[in-house]
Amino acid sequence: MTAHAAGDPHQAGATRGAEPPAYPVGLRLSGRRTIVLGGGQVAQRRLPALIAAGADITLISPSATPSVEAMAEAGEITWQQRRYQEGDLADAWYVLISSSDPEANATASAEAERNRTWCVRSDDAEAATAWTPATGRCDDVTVAVLTGHDPRRSAALRDVIVEGLREGTLAAPHHRPRTADDAPRVHLVGGGPGDPDLITVRGRRLLAEADVVIADRLGPRDLLDELPPHVEVIDAAKIPYGRFMAQEAINQALIDHAKQGRTVVRLKGGDPFVFGRGMEEAQALAAEGIPCTVVPGISSTISVPGAAGIPVTHRGVAHEFTVVSGHVAPDDPRSLVDWEALARLRGTLVLLMAVERIGAIADALVAYGRSPETPVAIIQEGTMATQRRVDATLATVGTTAKAENVRPPAVIVIGDVVSVNPPQ
């Protein structure tokens, strides 16, 4: 039997030639007496986590930083404005020693040892009975890293893990079976204009936690290849419609999968609420008592022109921009757009879903008074490797789009901002 197995860690460390590792544990300090000695920078950094843990904190220190004083004034901690005295650690569950008085630190550490109270020392880690790991949080996950006596390495590892969780590049799906009391979970995620790097950090993280992903063709498709094999990916364009219209079928699919207890991500291009029918989906879920999270996305209305070098506003050129759907022609009775009013605007027009009708739209704008020489840019597949920009004017854009074989998806920008940074 080794000395370690017999319960002598110091002897075990000597035998193996290395110090035994610290045993990691999560302390549940809510409502439990916790003592902090010293009100300086160390206490200022550590106290917020102790407060968040619900600890019953007593600070013993003649002075404190303004931030620590504010915690005391807010009632988050009890401050005894004096030096440490023998017996201060009685009944404490946890002690943080961080004062600038070496003698008081040593005396308090000895008291904690006698009381069998876990004690962290900022001035002498070797004399402590506990070490504080580098910690970080991502939603309901706490990451704590210990690397012996190298706190910078601990912090670096912590940062890598937390960043991976937040970005979704490090997947941590829930594996514990859900109960009947758990609410169905649906997330409406705006995937941005197409480049997978332009999805938000939160959107990518939720995507990594999904059981089912219902995706639009304009969403960031490259991210779907990164999903684990167990994730069911459904092309929204291929959902069987049956007696439903297309959008109703998508709504029903969201509801059905959520009621099966699965975490569902509805991955949409751009932003869910910019011509994305995201509100219709949220309303359908709400009617079934299913809450959903809406994660805004980078809208193609500004990101795609920006990727092509076009600012939608520019000092001295355009003080406003207007986003318009071009999915129906100006003379279509279903159109809700006041094209005559738009023609009178001096600012930028950004058109979505307008490639097939750009000729008719341009003619209407010119007929209502917009100059036929107004610059126009069409950006096809913006932010993607296949992005291309086609320039024209209102007078020529209809024929130019056909001659250049422009195809959706494309964003069309009309206005003088197009000429601010002409294509090279």
pLDDT in tens, 302-350: 999 999 999 999 999 999 999 999 999 999 999 999 999 999 999 999 9
The rounded Cα 175 to chain-centroid distance in angstroms is 21
Round the average pLDDT of the chain to a whole number and report it.
88
Mark 181-211 as b/e (b = at least 16 C-beta within 10 Å): eeebbbbbbbbbbbbbebbbebbbbbbbbbb
Stretch among 161-170, 360-369, 380-389, 408-417 having the lowest mean pLDDT: 161-170
The angle subtended at Cα 389 by Cα 423 and Cα 363, nearest 5°, is 105
Indicate whether this model's pTM tops 0.85: no
pLDDT for res 171 = 63
Query: Region 192-213: what's the mean pLDDT?
Result: 90
Query: Region 179-208: what's the mean pLDDT?
Result: 84
pLDDT digits (tens, 9 = 90+) for 48-99: 989 999 999 999 999 999 999 999 999 999 999 999 999 999 999 999 999 9
Q: Indicate whether 3 pLDDT > 50.
A: no
Q: Which CATH entry fits the domain spanning 185-298: 3.40.1010.10, 3.40.50.261, 3.20.20.70, 3.40.50.1820? A: 3.40.1010.10
Q: Indicate whether 260 pLDDT > 80.
A: yes
Q: Which residues contact 379 (CB under 8 A, 6 or more apart)?
A: 304, 305, 307, 308, 310, 387, 388, 389, 410, 411, 412, 413
**The CATH number of domain 301-419 is 3.40.50.300:** no
Stretch among 180-189, 307-316, 373-382 having the lowest mean pLDDT: 180-189
CA separation for the pair 88, 159 (Å, rounded): 36
Query: Region 107-135: what's the mean pLDDT?
Result: 90
Beta strands in 61-192 (DSSP E): 78-80, 94-97, 118-121, 134-138, 141-145, 185-190
Q: 399 vs 145, which has greater pLDDT?
A: 399
Q: Which amino acid is at 22?
A: A
For the chain, what is the total number of helices (H) and then of strands (E)?
Answer: 12, 17
Percentage, residues of the chain above pLDDT 70 = 90
Q: Which residues contact 62 (CB under 8 A, 6 or more apart)?
A: 81, 82, 83
pLDDT for res 7 = 38
pLDDT for res 276 = 87
pLDDT for res 6 = 36
HSE of 243 in the Cβ direction (CA atoms, 13 Å)?
A: 0
Q: 53 vs 138, which has greater pLDDT?
A: 53
pLDDT for res 307 = 95
User: Three-state SS for 170?
Assistant: coil
pLDDT for res 172 = 60
Look up residue 270 and give its DSSP letter.
B
Peptide linkage before 24 cis (omega within 30 of 0): no
Q: Indicate whether 354 pLDDT > 70.
A: yes
Q: What CATH number labels 27-132?
A: 3.40.50.720
Residue that has been written with the tokens 């300086």 in this structure: 40
In order of 11, 166, 416, the CA distances from 8 in angstroms are 5, 41, 79
Q: Spell out the domain ranges in the chain.
A: 27-132, 136-167, 185-298, 301-419
CA separation for the pair 89, 112 (Å, rounded): 7
Mark 121-159 as b/e (b = at least 16 C-beta within 10 Å): bbbeeeebebebbbebebeeeebbbbbeeebeebbebbe
At 1, is the pLDDT very low, low, confident or very high (cuts 50, 70, 90)? very low
Q: Which of 120, 123, 141 is nearest to 132 (CA)?
A: 120
Long-range contacts of 143-148 (CB under 8 A, 24+ apart): 144/24, 144/26, 146/21, 146/22, 146/24, 148/19, 148/21
Stretch among 205-209, 218-222, 375-379 having the lowest mean pLDDT: 218-222
Beta strands in 61-150 (DSSP E): 78-80, 94-97, 118-121, 134-138, 141-145
At 201, is the pLDDT very low, low, confident or very high (cuts 50, 70, 90)? confident
Q: Indicate whether 300 pLDDT > 50.
A: yes
CB-based burial label for 346 (10 Å; 0-12, 13-18, 19+): exposed
Q: Which of 268, 323, 275 is nearest to 297 (CA)?
A: 268
Beta strands in 134-253 (DSSP E): 134-138, 141-145, 185-190, 212-215, 232-235
pLDDT for res 8 = 39
Helix (H) / strand (E) containing 167: helix 151-167
Stretch among 153-157, 190-194, 274-278, 288-292 having the lowest mean pLDDT: 153-157
